């Protein structure tokens, strides 16, 4: 998939079916809109193109909300490419975009650069200065500029709720990562750089990769999770998936105050991930964050966490490692 970061990057002879949206998390509703765009493009024999925005408009217009993206832009683009799009324009969302009147946006973005033959959007789509443009506005502009408008009705889950990014955030805030995965249509992941921690886990036989404060993506509720650490294989385009028990929280057993994400790769004492940018993927919540009466009680629980994690991930059980065998310093 071609990725363009400015209008001038798009070839001048482009002809396409275009879809527009933030696509945060690329959940099942987004996938339906994008698949419709691709189907229409194939039927017309043109490219399927998406326009998305970075940063998210809410982060610009309502910074006090503190909106955190479900997934980093990199993961969003990977998912959009995997869906089958031919190209995506990442429009830098600033005054040059949000000050455009509806007809200016349509002409500059859809007609002049993307060569839109059709535009596919959700039924609640709004655009232009102050979100003044509606579906009816888009249809009228389409008649003027020679493109059709296809609307995709809201797609609902079996229980009748609309697939949405806000639903994903609710589930992650409750620690329901498996529920979030059902809405997303894929496992939720975050990205961060591995940094040095207090090394308490290492001394107990549970060395962990600690993520620094530059985490991208929504961190789920405090607790212990089964999941995967995903790291790039140096010199290749491949990734290595490492089974992990993931702890999110403040470590109440040790009177911790800072909220951290720590991933223990099952059975491994030979990893040195310091300074690497890794992804942590969440499969299922094992338990909430707890405080125990004794260190032995904590260790017994952590041994059980490893067994449950192995069961969830479908791998062999691995116990604690020998602290003296840990190679990372």
Q: Is 322 a residue whose pLDDT tops 90?
A: no
d(CA 315, CA 320): 15
Omega before 98 cis (within 30°)? no
List CB contacts of 139: < 8 A, sequence separation 6 or more.
149
Exactly one of 104, 257, 262, 276 is catalytic; which is it?
Answer: 262
In the chain, the domains with their CATH numbers are 2-157 (3.40.50.620), 165-325 (2.40.30.30)
d(CA 289, CA 291): 7
pLDDT of residue 153: 86
Helix axes 28-44, 73-83, angle to 10 degrees: 40
Cβ atoms of 217 and 71 within 8 Å: the answer is yes
- In this predicted model, what pLDDT tens digit does every residue of 112-123 receive, in sequence order? 999 999 999 998
245-258 mean pLDDT? 74
Is residue 140 among the annotated active site residues? no
- In this predicted model, what pLDDT tens digit does every residue of 22-42 receive, in sequence order? 999 999 999 999 999 999 999
pLDDT of residue 255: 58
Residue 12 tokens read as 């001048």
Q: Is 53 a residue whose pLDDT tops 70?
A: yes
pLDDT of residue 145: 97
pTM of the prediction?
0.90
Q: Is 254 a residue whose pLDDT tops 60?
A: no
């Amino acid at each position: 998939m071609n990725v363009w970061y400015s209008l001038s990057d798009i070839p001048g002879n482009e002809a396409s079916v275009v879809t527009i949206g933030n696509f945060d998390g690329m959940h099942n509703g987004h996938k339906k809109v994008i698949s419709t765009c691709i189907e229409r493009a194939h039927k017309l024999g043109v490219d399927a193109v998406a326009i998305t925005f970075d940063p998210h408009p809410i982060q610009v217009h309502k910074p006090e909300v503190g909106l955190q993206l479900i997934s980093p832009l990199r993961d969003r683009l990977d998912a959009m490419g995997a869906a089958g799009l031919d190209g995506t324009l990442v429009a830098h969302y600033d005054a040059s975009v949000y000050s455009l009147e509806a007809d200016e946006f349509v002409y500059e973005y859809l007609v002049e650069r993307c060569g839109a033959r059709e535009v596919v959007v959700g039924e609640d789509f709004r655009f232009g200065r102050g979100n003044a443009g509606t579906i009816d506005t888009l249809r009228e502009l389409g008649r003027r500029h020679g493109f059709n408008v296809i609307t995709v009705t809201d797609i609902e889950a079996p229980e009748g709720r609309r697939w949405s990014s806000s639903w994903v955030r609710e589930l992650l805030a409750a620690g329901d990562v498996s529920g979030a995965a059902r809405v997303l249509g894929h496992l939720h992941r975050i990205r961060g750089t591995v940094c040095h921690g207090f090394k308490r886990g290492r001394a107990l036989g549970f060395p962990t990769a600690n993520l620094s404060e530059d985490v991208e993506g929504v961190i789920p509720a405090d607790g212990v999770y089964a999941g995967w650490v995903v790291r790039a294989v140096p010199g290749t385009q491949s990734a290595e998936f490492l089974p992990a028990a993931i702890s999110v929280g403040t470590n109440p057993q040790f009177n911790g105050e800072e909220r951290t994400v720590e991933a223990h790769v099952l059975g491994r004492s030979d990893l040195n991930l310091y300074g690497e940018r890794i992804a942590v993927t969440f499969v299922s919540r094992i338990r909430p964050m707890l405080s125990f009466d004794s260190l032995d009680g904590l260790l017994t629980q952590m041994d059980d966490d490893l067994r449950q994690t192995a069961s969830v991930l479908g791998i062999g059980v691995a116990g604690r490692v020998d602290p003296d065998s840990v190679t990372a310093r």
